[in-house]
Amino acid sequence: MTTKPFSFLRLALVLGGLLISTTAWADRMITDQIGRQVQIPDHVNRVVVLQHQTLNIAVQLGAMDKVVGVLDEWKKQLGAKYVRLAPQLPDLPMPGGLTKANVEELLTLHPDVVFVTNYMPADVIKQIEDAGLPVIAISLLDVPPEEAVKLNPEVKDEPAAIDAGFATGVRLIADVLEKKDQGEAMIAVTQKYRKLIAERLADIPEDKRVPVYMANPELSTYGRGKYTGLMMERAGARNVANEIAGFKQVTMEDVLKWNPSVIFVQERYPKVVEEIKSTPSWQTIDAVKNGNIHLMPQYAKAWGYPQPEAMSIGELWMAKTLYPDRFADIDMQKEADAYYKAFYRTDYQADK
């Protein structure tokens, strides 16, 4: 599919008989992460971001001055505390979400491009395109186009698909937002930490890995094909939910059968920790009996899609939590501060 944006200003000039040549109208072709060829302006100055992963990357790229609209679920998806890192978020228009868009509202924002998630319904993408707005779908996963459009795609080689898809996605977003150097720096820091963690955990056999469960609201969790499982694997854990595919709701019977030794909860879902501690059905699980329930720090984004801070200091935090002796020399506050200064332009503040 090819998107050919045609601005209303350009249309007005053509209809008025004005033949004006300007580099501002120069276009270029990019390929998004569901395999679509998209024609976009050579210089992008206004973007709407209807995917929280892309929004988080845009913040770290220092490109929020170009963001004129965001998804309506940004607070739920990024966490209420995230506003410290992007104070302008509450004031931005919200013309859509992960699977919907208000085309009339989009048009009032005059975006040069609209970023959406890979599983945005095809008919919604077409509605946006038909209005003359280029749409770029981001998956942060390298899989065939027929799988890329799914919420839970079938992934044959998770490490390769996630590593390649992450790098491609970051480079694409950074290229569109004209922040290529910052994008390459984000990729480089993940590779640095990946090497450190892999070297320290290389000798742990599969049967000695810590069984871990990622608890989300309403007993939903991540199985195969999602970054969360790879995050656990690289941190020396065994994802007890690996028998399921994608992001799904499980049963209490499943969790009791798996009996994880450690339970992790994402920072954006603090109420889940209290629910686990106070609900009788959880009390026989080893992780609960031994007090091994951990609310993850903001940077350890155990989302279904990889994020740069999660693939670097997030994986390091998880590895240190599971194997403290092997990472006794690592000061996580120091590592987090260094990352946040480089990409969020502030210190990491765990209590904020």
**172-216: pLDDT as tens digits:** 999 999 999 999 999 999 999 999 999 999 999 999 999 999 999
> How sure is the predictor about 21, in pLDDT bands with cuts at 50, 70 and 90?
very low
pLDDT tops 70 at residue 11: no
What's this model's pTM, rounded to 2 decimal places?
A: 0.89
Q: Amino acid identity, residue 7? A: S
Residue 36: predicted pLDDT: 97
- CA 98, 103, 104, 105 dihedral sign is positive
Per-residue tokens: 226: 């999602």
Residue that wins the pLDDT comparison between 109 and 9 = 109
> How sure is the predictor about 26, in pLDDT bands with cuts at 50, 70 and 90?
low
> Strand pairing partners for 3?
38
The CA-atom distances, in angstroms, between 7 and each of 17, 19, 131, 134, 289 are 16, 15, 9, 10, 61
CA proximity to 176, closest of 120, 131, 137: 137
**293-332: pLDDT as tens digits:** 999 999 999 999 999 999 999 999 999 999 999 999 999 9
Residue 351: predicted pLDDT: 61
- For the chain, the helix, strand and coil percentages under 3-state DSSP, each to the nearest 5: 45, 15, 40
Spell out where 144-254 has E strands. 210-215, 220-222, 237-239, 247-249
> Strand pairing partners for 215?
265
- DSSP one-letter code for 227: H
Range 186-212 burial, b when 16+ CB lie within 10 A, else e: bbebbeebbebbeebbeeeeeeebbbb
In the chain, the domains with their CATH numbers are 2-156 (3.40.50.1980), 191-343 (3.40.50.1980)
Averaged pLDDT, 124-129: 98
